[in-house]
Structure 1
């Protein structure tokens, strides 16, 4: 049946989302509807759709509550092509901004907000320029596929990294190679990961480290969304990959320049191993109503 979707448009370093509240989990979110909403000519236009659902009212949210009873709200994230995604680093920050704006949640001074996702519970705190998300533990996934991309003359080795969703990071020689990529075409991975992957192309700044902070540039082709102006989990994966390649003595603090702005990445020790945090802005742009079939 047709219904009116009351939504908020939000963005984090140009990675944009359509957010809407469905606390009881009553709305039927389908791939067809998600594609219609995200269409930049006939819909609102976005890299993805985020539904705010109480964790208790969604099957996927039960695991979040089992992990942390404070994870009252679940970020139900869908890519622009209508596929469901495990996580979105920029999306978590924008989702947090939305929850605060709608009066659904609060972050007291010095406090945190627990958010349920399909990649586990993420804890969000305020930062100087927006929000910081503890993305949890990460791992090298053991896959090092060859990556081919349009306007990249020779296939390059990639490094597989899992930060709650799958990534392959590719090092390029210089800014010209990075700027010359045509990411309107899907990069080809060999072998192809079973669940697909986001693919990040990175170039180190010169110098790589300045005032104890590592600096890189990145472009990304997101699984299910195509090239985006930013990818939060991609920035995390890119910083982890460059630190891995740089070896001992590489810093744990990084600035990642993406087409939509700058993101901060920080690696730190926790009780269960090394965690990685993502920080950056989150902006709510406008509200609207869209009639959907």
Structure 2
């Protein structure tokens, strides 16, 4: 008999996910099955699938527990094509709410929920906008590759940034350019990233800084998912890249407008280097059952 999966559909600024509980790690789905769940025509439809599993019951969770033994829960995240991914900034906020709302974890005011991911352990807190996740240390990584996108006339230089997963951020000259890019096609990045890369296209708002807060618009093509309405780690990377280009005096707090809403990004100093945090809503759409 085929197993029945009880799932919850959720999203963060339109970046949507199918979530299900498997605390003991007993449900092993193939990449083709995960892709079928995420399929928008024949499945539930989502940008990714998240399994709630205790870190101790997953091979990838051993590294999370070694990093922080408070990481009881692991976010087993897969892209829409079934491929595993290191991290998802919108997904981890929705995952945190899923754990709390289903009584699997507690997160009171001022508390921190520690979650394991393939990109390392992440700390999540609740705030006025929904949830905030500390994405950890970031780095300039991947150089300045050239990026070609359909309907953009010439190749543009990008900036490689890693926030637990790889990104290339490209600055465009106007809103018209941003709107004209056809991201139903995979942008071509040269040199290529062997494991693929998320590509963000950004335009500053006018003025770029208002009341000490930076403001940009962004669209994104996520590896393994295509264009999405939002990408949390991509918003963080876009804000970091824009601050890098703006130079000294640029703010450490940003609002990033994506097609699905607005996300907050904040950079702050810690003992082990500068971290970047992402905040925004975590919403549920519906629940259901699916025969695998």
Sort the TM-score into its range (normalised by shorter chain): over 0.9
Aligned to 2:112: 112
Aligned to 1:241: 241
Aligned to 1:45: 45
Flag structure 2 segments of 5+ consecutive residues without an equivalent. none
Aligned to 1:273: 273
Q: Tell me how far 1:14 sits from its aligned partner.
A: 0.1
Classify the secondary structure of the residue corresponding to 1:93: helix
Q: Tell me how far 1:142 sits from its aligned partner.
A: 4.0
In 1, distance between residues paired with 2:86 and 2:129? 25
Aligned to 1:71: 71
Aligned to 2:81: 81
After superposition, what is the alpha-carbon deviation per residue over 1:210-231, rounded to whole angstroms, capped at 9, x for unaligned?
A: 0000000000000000000000
In 1, distance between residues paired with 2:36 and 2:2? 13
Flag structure 1 segments of 5+ consecutive residues without an equivalent. none
Classify the secondary structure of the residue corresponding to 2:60: helix
Classify the secondary structure of the residue corresponding to 2:289: strand
Classify the secondary structure of the residue corresponding to 1:189: strand
Aligned counterparts, 1:210-225, within 5 A = 210-225=210-225
Aligned to 1:59: 59
In 1, distance between residues paired with 2:245 and 2:196? 23
Which aligned runs of 4 or more in structure 1 are off by greater than 6 angstroms? none
In 2, distance between residues paired with 1:13 and 1:146? 29
Classify the secondary structure of the residue corresponding to 1:98: helix
Aligned counterparts, 1:156-175, within 5 A = 156-175=156-175
Aligned to 2:125: 125
Q: Tell me how far 1:64 sits from its aligned partner.
A: 0.6
Aligned to 1:144: 144
Aligned to 1:180: 180
Q: Tell me how far 1:193 sits from its aligned partner.
A: 1.1
Moved more, 1-10 or 179-188: 1-10
Q: Tell me how far 1:144 sits from its aligned partner.
A: 1.2
After superposition, what is the alpha-carbon deviation per residue over 1:126-184, rounded to whole angstroms, capped at 9, x for unaligned?
A: 11010000000000014211000000001000100000000000000000000011100
Aligned to 2:20: 20
Aligned counterparts, 1:188-227, within 5 A = 188-227=188-227
Aligned to 1:262: 262
TM-score normalised by the chain length of structure 1: 0.99
Aligned to 2:32: 32
Alignment root-mean-square deviation, CA = 0.7
Classify the secondary structure of the residue corresponding to 1:64: helix
Classify the secondary structure of the residue corresponding to 1:7: strand
The aligned length equals 292
| 1:142 to 1:18, Cα distance in 2 relative to 1, 3 A | closer
Does residue 229 (structure 1) correspond to residue 215 (structure 2)? The answer is no
Classify the secondary structure of the residue corresponding to 1:208: strand
Q: Tell me how far 1:89 sits from its aligned partner.
A: 0.2
In 2, distance between residues paired with 1:134 and 1:210? 24
Q: Tell me how far 1:108 sits from its aligned partner.
A: 2.0
After superposition, what is the alpha-carbon deviation per residue over 1:233-260, rounded to whole angstroms, capped at 9, x for unaligned?
A: 0000000000000000000000000000
